[in-house]
Structure 1
Amino acid sequence: MAPAFGWLDASWLIGAFWDARWWLMSSAVAAMCVWLWARRWWLRRARTMLRDRAVVALVPAAGFDPSLEEIDRHAARLARVPAVVGWAPERAVGVRIRLSSDEGRLSYRLEGPARAAALLRLRSFPDVDVVEPGAGHDEVPRIRFDGVPPLEPDNHGDEDE
């Protein structure tokens, strides 16, 4: 007995799929190969961009006291880095702010994509010099507070009680 409605009969669709099964499977394999190649290229590009990053050191003057407007301007400039870099892996376009201390000297460095090096080198604050790290200028003097003596190392073992 034939179905009441001829247009509901899906056997032609099953037949068409069966006839094209090799073409569909080869297309799926080709699409998977293209996707795997693109993924590998994207990861390789991310590794290359992470390896070739620009680093600048910020050296403040002794009386450095930024206003909120200057801080906002600096943050907005750093937020524009992904737009400057363009189409790139997300992990490679991030700006890293590295604060470190070596023997009491504070070091403030910006690290970002090489394509955004010019943006990183722009001066955001009037009292801050932007220098290349390792140039000898990135050593920041210790911060001293009026009326507060510097901290001395603890000598717990040397004291007699």
Structure 2
Amino acid sequence: MLNPVDIVTSVVDDTAAAVWGARWHIVAALVVAAALWGAAAGAWRRRAVSELSCREEVQFLPSTTFHTDMDEVMQQGARLGRITAAAGTVPQRARATRILLASSPDGQLEYRVRGPERAGGLLRQHQFSGVEVLDGNGPRTRPPAPRVRFASAAPVKKEGEQA
């Protein structure tokens, strides 16, 4: 005849083994999921770095008679807003559009737009008449910044520099 204590002990042991076995599988599944997530995040980051290293830059050079109206400005703004969609499945941080405004040494406005390489066609389109579109990946025309000198302090010498 079976002892009731043996029956309860057997049920408890079987239940504990089943629960521990289920928990072990859950922990293993979570570890595998975390490893897969980490690998996917690493691949996405490498893709973003790759996309950021080959961005398209376009320079718009206005003529001396350049004049625009508000409609053209709004159309150009809408086009700039569509660049992120035109980039496709590029990671978000590599989808950004950057507008750079500077003055050239001869006093002319430099208007550069930098964005994803996949959206290069949209970057090169221009709505304004009297504007020349140039490849902006060339050298900058900005002169080097002048050195700052103080009358009451001697200049700091760089390594290997003679007085």
Using the size of structure 2 for normalisation, the TM-score is 0.70
Looking at structure 2, the residues matched to 70 and 55 of structure 1 have their Cα atoms a distance apart, in angstroms, of 21
The answer to whether residue 122 in structure 2 is matched with residue 115 in structure 1 is no
Question: Which stretch has the larger CA shift, 75-84 or 123-132?
Answer: 123-132
SS at match of 1:98: strand
Counterparts in 2 of 1:30 and 1:71: CA distance versus 1, 3 Å: same
- Partner residue of 1:82 out of 84, 108, 127: 84
Aligned residue for 1:107, secondary structure, equals strand
Q: Is the 8 Å Cα contact of residues 61 and 109 (structure 2) preserved in structure 1?
A: no
Secondary structure, in 3 states, of the residue corresponding to 1:66? coil
Aligned to 1:54: 56
Letter in 1 for 2:128: F
**Partner residue of 2:130 out of 119, 127, 130:** 127
CA distance in structure 2 between the partners assigned to 1:75 and 1:66 by the alignment = 13
How far did residue 134 of structure 1 move? 6.7
Larger Rg: 2
* Equivalent runs, 1:9-158 vs 2, <5 Å: 17-103=19-105, 104-133=107-136
Structure 2 partner of 1:7: none
Partners in 2 of 1:36 and 1:62 — Cα distance? Answer: 54
Letter in 2 for 1:41: A
Contact 2:62 2:109 in 1 (8 A): no
CA distance in 2, matches of 1:102, 1:123: 21
- Long gaps (5+) in structure 1: 1-12, 140-161
Structure 2: 5+ residue runs without aligned partners? 1-14, 142-163
Q: Which AA in structure 2 matches 1:108? A: Y
- Give the letter aligned to residue 109 of structure 2: L
Query: TM-score, normalised to structure 1's length?
Result: 0.70
Residue 60 of structure 1 and its aligned partner are, at CA, apart by: 0.7
CA offsets 1:75-100 (integer angstroms, 9 cap, x no match): 10010011111122111111101112
Q: Following the alignment from structure 2 to structure 1, what is the Cα–Cα distance between the partners of residues 60 and 37?
A: 42
Range 64-73 or range 16-25, more displaced: 16-25
Identical aligned residues as a percent: 37
Count matched residues.
127
